[in-house]
Amino acid sequence: MTNSRKASPRPTSRPELLAPAGGQASWAAALAAGADAVYVGLNHFSARAYAENFTLAELKGLIEESRRCGVRVYLAFNSLIKESELAEAFKTVCAVSEMAPDAFILQDMGLAALCRQHAPQIPLHASTLMAAHTLDGLSTLANAGFSRVVLPRELNLGEIAHLSRRGAIGVETFVHGALCFSFSGLCLMSSFLGGRSALRGGCTQPCRRYYQNAGRRKNFFSLSDLIGLSFIPELKRLPIAALKIEGRMKGPDYVGQVVRAYKLMLDAPEDNQREAFDEALSILRLIPGRPGGPGFIPGDPFVPGLWETQNASGLKIGRLRPTGNGQGTLTLLTPLKLLDRLRFSDEADDTQAYKLRKMVRGGTEVDSADAGDEVTLSIGDPASPPPATDVFKIGSGSLEKELFASEPVKRLKLHAKNYSPPPAPPTPPGLAKDKGAVATSPGRSQPLWLWLDGFDHIQEMLKLRPRKIIVPLTAENAKKLGQYRKLLSPYSNLVWSLPPLLLGRAQEKVRKEAKKLIEAGHRDFMISNLGQITLLGRLHNGLKLWADHRLGVLNHLSGKAFHDLGVTGVTLSMECDQETLLKLSQAAFPGGVLMYLYGRPALFTARYRPPNLKRGPVVSQRGEKFWPSEDGDAFILQSEHRVFIGGLLKSPKPRGFVGLIVDLRQEPNPVEAGRRVRKAIDQGRGSPGLSFNYKRGLQ
């Protein structure tokens, strides 16, 4: 294996090849395989919290050694930041600024503001979790100081081409790796089920699990891995800054082999594409991972799931036959070595992983075995042997051992050993953990913003004394408005909400309807994606734009950043816990602040509906029920249980508080639900419903 390579500039005729580096061995594998750039994360503030990641000292060594090899380093600083974490985030930004990585990859708008102020020389790249999927989204990011965006993995080739050719900033796009079911940045399922936020790196992968629907148990929401190898010739002809490989949770064998395969295709001349593709594909067939396909790239709205194939990630090595005493026998489909990391999954959907330390072939202990050999493995506790199950190789222990002893890793460790952190600058007063309280008392005034499907029950809803009525911006609702014009006068009481996804012709339809409403005198709109700031701002510069909970505001700097972009007020993230809300109540927001009190939020928001999902509920292994529905062109999955964050009724509010959102969309009886919530608010108490993360905390 080559331990290092000489610096070689990326050919200007193609995008850079950007590889994941979740740990030291994977980073060394990316260097050896010829990656142009790597993206890495720290032990905190990273959207891959379960990856090995790096300390500040290790990051210093990694940047120095990567630069020596001519490889760029992008720091994934892409977690949402809670108010209580701002002081630590500030110190981290200042420390990393001295190391000069080639870019920050960010999701949190408040953190972006910190980086612009305290590390202005480092370019900002917008994380895929910002869900920027339109030209307007790229324009908003440009106005916020970003120079590149990581496009969502759910876009097709035509959309990627459109954004790369006409976008206000550079783009990079994923070409290989795992696909989530929910659209990038729009998943609340993991947080809802246990407080581990996908937007903060703690995703428990609920879309990979088995669910019941119409008497069938399948993994309806588990997508095949993305393999975009066949589209490289078309992608490299586009003005794309980088082609990105997903996998900071993957081992060095995965990283090295995937980089080699895609580098073959990227560097192949036009007259050698077929040969390069065949060789690259043969490499990919030997790496640990789920079955793969082209994902959303071809433009077909149907993306194959895994309900008929394997769910576990890894290279299948055989079917285990338990023999007792913590051992099992199998016939190998691929070669196997001691120290390889294996995983098996049982029918109850539980998975276990372990490192292979003993293997017997023909009665003799061996260090390695070949495909076709029958071997006996020591696989765990004799008292609790695993059932018969498929076994997958998820990493090569021998390769990891070799890479940990490589020259790049040795030099990284030497840099890290000699690292002396710079003196921490004084924390700005506005970021101090203990700020002077500026909260407003909740008092008796709890202004309500009712979110409805339309105007069908508007007379009854107005009896609930709402401050504002929010309705989806659709042609149907705009047409019905005339029937209720007198009831809803003046228009300042009405807010039009935009859907989170505006793909294809949907964006132009919404733009036309918004223009008509603005011409008729409407000024209030609820946005659910940062691109809608630009979309609506181009129609009129005097609008009141209210950001919904999907914009991910967990700190006051994010609220200020959106206000600076023209947003009148923000809704705090639904993921907020009690501690974060208390801290936010001590912060000053320059604009209005809303809080989500009641509703059935979309936990999955996806671009397509699983084709084999039948009518009726989707039920988890623990008996939790979820109901499929639609939000504009998006497929959504909602919990059977409503959210009612009753603690908000008695908690102090931030300065600028303007109301509590009561979301009655898709309620079977919205009038009765509204009355129940209004009564609970008037009495200052909760109502039946889940408190989301309010009491249990947000991780």
Residues with Cβ within 8 Å of 88's Cβ and at least 6 positions away in sequence, in order, are: 44
pLDDT given for residue 394 in this prediction: 83
| Alpha-carbon 669 to chain mean position | 33
- Number of H helices and E strands in the chain, helices first, is 20, 35
The architecture in CATH of the region 443-600+641-682 reads Alpha-Beta Barrel (3.20)
Q: Per the structure block, which two tokens stand in for 458?
A: 């508007």
pLDDT given for residue 100 in this prediction: 96
Kindly state the average pLDDT of the residues 127-153.
98
Q: CATH 2.40.30.10: which residues of the chain?
A: 315-401
> Which residue, 562, 566, 528, is CA-closest to 544?
566
Domain 315-401 class in CATH: mainly beta
* DSSP one-letter string for 432-495: -SSPPP-PBP--S---EEEE-SSSTTHHHHHTT--SEEEEE--HHHHHHGGGGTTTT-SGGGEE
Q: How far is it, in rounded angstroms, from Cα 181 to Cα 187?
A: 9
| Alpha-carbon 126 to chain mean position | 12
Residues with Cβ within 8 Å of 646's Cβ and at least 6 positions away in sequence, in order, are: 680, 685, 686, 687, 689, 691
Quick: pLDDT tens for 343-356: 876 544 555 677 88
Q: Per the structure block, which two tokens stand in for 407?
A: 């020259």
Coil vs helix vs strand at 609:
coil
Q: Is the separation of the CB atoms in 638 and 630 below 8 Å?
A: no
Q: CATH 3.20.20.70: which residues of the chain?
A: 16-182+224-306, 443-600+641-682
Instruction: Sort strands 37-41 and 72-77 into parallel, antiparallel or unpaired.
Output: parallel
For residue 457, count other CB atoms closer than 10 A to its CB: 16
441 pLDDT above the threshold of 80: no
**CATH (residue range 16-182+224-306):** 3.20.20.70
309 pLDDT above the threshold of 60: no
Q: Is the separation of the CB atoms in 359 and 376 below 8 Å?
A: yes
Quick: pLDDT tens for 170-204: 999 999 999 999 999 999 999 999 999 999 999 99
Q: How far is it, in rounded angstroms, from Cα 332 to Cα 335?
A: 7
Q: Per the structure block, which two tokens stand in for 679?
A: 């009564």
Q: Is the separation of the CB atoms in 56 and 46 below 8 Å?
A: no
Question: Could you tell me the sign of the dihedral formed by the alpha carbons of 648, 651, 656, 659, in that order?
Answer: positive
571 pLDDT above the threshold of 90: yes
Instruction: Sort strands 341-345 and 351-355 into parallel, antiparallel or unpaired.
Output: antiparallel
For residue 136, count other CB atoms closer than 10 A to its CB: 23
13 pLDDT above the threshold of 60: yes
pLDDT range class, residue 378, cuts 50, 70, 90 = confident
pLDDT range class, residue 44, cuts 50, 70, 90 = confident
User: What is the percentage of the chain residues whose pLDDT exceeds 90?
Assistant: 72
Q: Is the separation of the CB atoms in 211 and 619 below 8 Å?
A: yes
Q: Which amino acid, residue 85?
A: E
Show the CA angle centred on residue 146, arms to residues 170 and 236, nearest 5°: 15
Coil vs helix vs strand at 369:
strand
Quick: pLDDT tens for 202-261: 999 999 899 999 999 998 999 989 999 999 999 999 999 999 999 998 889 999 999 999
Question: Could you tell me the sign of the dihedral formed by the alpha carbons of 329, 333, 337, 341, in that order?
Answer: negative
pLDDT range class, residue 2, cuts 50, 70, 90 = very low
Quick: pLDDT tens for 106-121: 999 999 999 999 999 9
11 pLDDT above the threshold of 60: no
* DSSP one-letter string for 634-667: EEEEEESSPEE-THHHHS-B-EEEEEEEEE-TT-
pTM summary value: 0.92
Quick: pLDDT tens for 654-669: 889 999 999 999 899 9
Kindly state the average pLDDT of the residues 67-91.
96
Show the CA angle centred on residue 377, arms to residues 372 and 379, nearest 5°: 140
